[in-house]
């Protein structure tokens, strides 16, 4: 496979056809580091065509922490992790509402709440059905729910109570999935996304880079998300947490992370692309460049790890000449 040097030609293809080929996507990931700026310029052409210079902010709330029966190797909340994380059942109404207030104050358009579980219990479903209408009425936020594996009936109930979007990440490629989890499979995740789609909800699904996967796995995940027509793609860079099976994984450079963001943009030109967990650790001082491909950020902390201070995110967006969309608070 020859190295592509005319990244603008790939941008043209992405704009014209709505994606790029698997071989071309691999070439993006394997581009020499000295071509990263040219590659980001090409990705920015595609981003600007579909999203202008806008950035959408998301706020993440860990609504139920720890206590998870699954064995995902990256997760500090799994049953096999020894990481010292908080453990609590689903938060009470007042705490979930207060987090929604903070999301609004920080300029987030979407409030994401997450529970650690294989899937929601009936008690947890009822708690979601109660709180979502209140959040939307008081704060006007879009709601993205991440509740684990969902059956068709649960997806319908989420739609009925006002949830806008469900997050359920593919996390990696089908080929690599068994290497990071044994208590459920890749097919279970796809089935959840199909149930969510049939219920009329938008799909939020992405993955984690840095879990020992090959370049081919990263590309196959990007292409699978394209085929599933997900509306929103959060791209995480592994924060290797002590006490998890992947605690020693640390093989990402800022340049590789930028190439991954560019590849996801070219493969999925019209989809919201969000820089998610691990950006502060792996992109470091190159974080602003990531927004030339991505058009979305989490503002604030993640599930069990700290994020960059919101004020730094606002300053970064302003310095780029970009504009936060969906809010007038900033």
CB atoms within 10 A of CB 256: 21
Catalytic residue among 146, 161, 181, 204: 204
Q: Say what the alpha-carbon torsion angle 69, 71, 75, 80 is, to the nearest 10 degrees.
A: 80
Catalytic residue among 45, 112, 257, 265: 112
Instruction: Write out the residue range of the structural domain in which residue 83 sits.
Output: 7-324
Give helix then strand counts, H and E, for the chain: 12, 10
The pLDDT tens digits of the residues spanning 114-137 come to: 988 899 999 999 999 999 999 999
In a domain, 275, yes or no: yes
Percent of the chain with pLDDT over 90: 77
Would residue 257 show up in a list of annotated catalytic residues for this protein?
Answer: no
Percent of the chain with pLDDT over 70: 95
In a domain, 99, yes or no: yes
pLDDT of 168 > 90? The answer is yes
The pLDDT tens digits of the residues spanning 57-81 come to: 999 888 887 778 888 888 877 777 7
Would residue 181 show up in a list of annotated catalytic residues for this protein?
Answer: no
Q: CA–CA separation, 223 vs 112, rounded Å?
A: 25
The pLDDT of residue 305 is: 64
The pLDDT of residue 215 is: 98
In a domain, 158, yes or no: yes
Q: CA–CA separation, 128 vs 148, rounded Å?
A: 13
Question: Could you tell me which of 318, 317, 320, 296 has the C-alpha nearest to residue 57?
Answer: 296
In a domain, 329, yes or no: no
The pLDDT of residue 328 is: 39
Across the range 246-275, mean pLDDT stands at 93
For residues 303 and 241, the answer to whether their CB atoms sit within 8 Å is no
CATH of the domain at 308: 3.20.20.70
Domain count, the chain: 1
- 239/130: higher pLDDT: 130
In a domain, 2, yes or no: no
Three-class SS state of 219: helix
The pLDDT of residue 2 is: 46
Would residue 68 show up in a list of annotated catalytic residues for this protein?
Answer: yes
Would residue 123 show up in a list of annotated catalytic residues for this protein?
Answer: no
Catalytic residue among 157, 189, 271, 274: 274
In a domain, 52, yes or no: yes
């Amino acid at each position: 496979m020859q190295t592509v040097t005319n990244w603008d030609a790939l941008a043209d293809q992405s704009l014209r056809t709505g994606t790029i080929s698997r071989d071309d996507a691999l070439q993006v990931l394997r581009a020499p580091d000295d071509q990263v700026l040219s590659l980001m310029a090409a990705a920015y052409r595609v981003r600007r065509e579909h999203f202008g210079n806008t950035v959408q902010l998301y706020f993440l709330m860990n609504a139920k922490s720890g206590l998870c029966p699954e064995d995902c190797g990256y997760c500090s909340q799994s049953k096999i992790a020894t990481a010292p994380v908080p453990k609590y059942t689903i938060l009470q109404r007042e705490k979930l509402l207060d987090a929604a207030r903070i999301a609004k104050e920080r300029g987030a358009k979407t409030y994401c709440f997450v529970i650690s579980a294989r899937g929601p219990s009936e008690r947890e479903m009822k708690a979601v059905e109660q709180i979502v209408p209140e959040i939307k009425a008081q704060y006007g936020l879009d709601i993205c729910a991440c509740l684990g594996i969902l059956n068709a009936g649960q997806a319908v109930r989420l739609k009925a109570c006002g949830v806008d979007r469900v997050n359920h990440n593919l996390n990696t490629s089908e080929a690599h999935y068994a290497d990071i989890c044994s208590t459920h499979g890749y097919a279970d995740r796809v089935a959840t996304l199909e149930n969510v789609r049939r219920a009329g909800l938008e799909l939020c699904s992405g993955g984690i880079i840095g879990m020992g996967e090959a370049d081919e796995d990263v590309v196959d995940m990007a292409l699978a998300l394209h085929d599933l027509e997900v509306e929103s793609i959060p791209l995480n860079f592994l924060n290797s947490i002590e006490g998890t099976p992947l605690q020693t994984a640390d093989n990402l450079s800022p340049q590789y992370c930028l190439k991954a963001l560019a590849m996801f943009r070219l493969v999925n030109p019209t989809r919201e692309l969000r820089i998610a967990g691990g950006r502060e650790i792996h992109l470091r001082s190159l974080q602003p460049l990531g927004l030339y491909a991505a058009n979305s950020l989490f503002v604030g902390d993640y599930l069990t790890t700290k994020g960059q201070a919101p004020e730094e995110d606002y300053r970064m967006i302003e310095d780029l000449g970009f504009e936060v969309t969906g809010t007038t608070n900033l």
